[in-house]
Structure 1
Amino acid sequence: MKRLAPILLPALLCGLLLGACAQKQTTLKFMTYNIRNGRGIDEVQDLGRIAQVICRTAPDIVALQEVDSVTRRMEGRFIPEELGRMTGMHATFCRAIDFGGGAYGIGLLSHHAPLAVRRVPLPGREEARVLLVADFRDYTVCVTHLSLTAEDRLASLPLIRQATDTCRKPVLLAGDFNTDDATAVLAGLGGRFRPLSDTTRMTFPSHAPSVRIDYILGRRLPASAAVTQSVVDHTTTASDHCPLWVALSWRR
């Protein structure tokens, strides 16, 4: 047995090291921002200010709301692509409605292109609403901008839950939910999501935040998942909403 010890001990240590290496760490900084097409609370249209806010935070993913695609009011500009160039990120756009010769909806900025994208229609009687579902290697990202009408807003929540029921990876859901009732949001999602952003921090209007209508939520996160930072940026009025972001970490 003494002769075997010098052989077995290194083998055991090697096995432990391999097991530790097998548990890789995922870290992610995730922002949501209703950009109002770059129109600030001062009514000045300046997409560069939005890009500056994003760049100084340096997120991995940005969920965008109120985004135009080649509309007349934006002189035919494809806003997601412009923001992508300014921030060095890949842009994804999801149409909610046809508008002004182009489209209006939500979007996503990411360091890597999604593996797959799908569009889920949601109710909205004042204007149609959508859920953007983007699949990445280690997680799925969902972006939405819910209806101003309470009945349509509440009807959207079970549809979002159903759309993510088949996801086997961690799901990150963010956007402008147009309600300050976080309890109703979580209940409408069937208790499947938990808040990741600080639901005590106000997000609107940006010059004097008094209500919370923007959220970042998570589903199917592993037990090791931890929110290491949660920030609502009250320093910028580049839009009428405050941007908010979280930093997450988990082992896989």
Structure 2
Amino acid sequence: MNRRTFVAGAGAAALGLTGTAPVGAVRDGSSESHSSERADGTISIRVLNWNIHHGTGMDGVYDLRRIADLIARSGAELVALQEVDKHLASRSDCNDQPQRLAERLGMHVDYAANITEYESTCDRQSRYGTAVLTAQEYPILDSEHYGLPSPQVEEGAYNEPRGLQETTVQIEGERIRFYTTHLDHLFERRRVAQVEAILDATADVSDPQVITGDFNATPGSRPIGAVTDEYVDAFAVVGNGDSYTYPGVYTDAAPEKRIDYVFVSDDVSVDDAGIAEETLVSDHLPTVADLRIRRSA
């Protein structure tokens, strides 16, 4: 079982240690940013990527506060989330999860729905998709949602709509393209097609890029190989590529594989990357990366 835990706030030396991050206060609008401009002119930023399993933990408990509190402890300024509900009665009490998380954390929010065709007893349309949260000092300039292909490779097989969320964020005067996605969990052929569409959508972008998500694919697979032909795997570049992110930790359950990723373009450097905490509050472990973004000329 391979797990290397990133202890938030402890710096590079934390990589390789086990244990959990120190408990901290929930972020509010007055919180200081962890990002800063370095002597070499680059901008430091912390990113968190996490499939939150619609707020339900390995213990079967639905508690969105646990999700928010872990995000706050991580100190991340850019947060990408998958499996985020909006007004679903059956499993998340009709909560507007992206809005509730944004309010509790004092962050901006951008939401992209991949599924909207639910029959719901909630008073608003039910949705399911991905979300991006950004620190108060980093406004969201623009957003885009790309539907991803999902070929029917086997008759009668479940085929869930998938997408790529693109959020353009302003950080210290620079434009950053921040992406998140959640790829098909059944067939590699679908994941390959979806990765090809992602690479098409992100090609020819001049802004620094960070691509995150639950790719439902392990390192060395065809989909991940296609991405790493174009982008840098943050975990691998710091020697942490064998860290496992799924499933979450609970009783006899322990992580068995890595399917959650942070990828960066060549103008983004990686200082640290690893597991934010070993936790049971989702069925995935949250991943964190400390990045340095080069300023434009």
Query: TM-score band (shorter)?
Result: 0.7 to 0.9
Kindly provide the CA deviation profile for residues 110-149 of structure 1, in whole angstroms up to 9, marking residues without a partner as x: 1133211001001235200000011123310010000012
AA aligned to 2:205 is C
Q: Is 1:227 matched with 2:253?
A: no
Deviation at 1:181, TM superposition (A): 3.3
Q: Normalised by the size of structure 1, how large is the TM-score?
A: 0.85
SS at match of 1:211: coil
Match of 1:104 in 2: 128
User: For 1:45, what is the secondary structure of its paired residue?
Assistant: coil
- Tell whether 2:178 aligns with 1:152: no
Shift in Å at residue 77 of structure 1? 1.4
Instruction: Please report how far the alpha carbon of residue 234 of structure 1 lies from its aligned counterpart in structure 2 after TM superposition.
Output: 4.3
Deviation at 1:187, TM superposition (A): 3.0
Q: 1:202 matched to which residue of 2? A: 244
| Shift, 1:50, TM fit | 0.5
Please identify which structure carries the higher helix content: 1
**Alpha-carbon distance, 1:188 to partner:** 2.3
Distance 2:224 2:93 in 1: 39
Deviations 1:212-249 (A, max 9, x none): 11010012x32xx4322212134211101000010011
**1:11-160 equivalent positions in 2, closer than 5 A:** 24-73=41-90, 74-98=92-116, 99-101=118-120, 102-111=126-135, 112-124=138-150, 126-137=159-170, 138=174, 139-148=176-185, 149-160=187-198
* Preserved CA contact (<8 Å) 2:149 2:197: no
- Per the TM alignment, residue 108 of structure 1 is displaced from its structure 2 partner at its CA by 0.6
- The 1:182/1:88 distance shift into structure 2, 3 A limit, reads farther
Q: Residue 161 of structure 1 contacts residue 190 of structure 1 at CA under 8 Å; is this kept in 2?
A: no
Asked if the contact 1:72–1:100 (Cα under 8 Å) also holds between the matched residues in 2, the reply is no
| Paired position in structure 1 for 2:212 | 174
Q: State the identity %.
A: 29
The runs of 5 or more residues in structure 2 that have no matched partner are: 1-37, 121-125, 151-157
- Find the aligned partners of 1:248 and 1:191 in 2 and give their Cα distance: 20
1:45, CA displacement in angstroms?
A: 0.4
CA distances 1:162-203 after superposition (whole Å, capped 9, x unpaired): 101131011100010011134523432371111012321000
Determine helix, strand or coil for the equivalent of 2:140.
coil
Partner letter of residue 106 of structure 2? G
Task: Summarize the alignment of residues 208-223 of structure 1 with structure 2, pairs less than 5 Å apart.
Answer: 208-219=254-265, 221-222=266-267
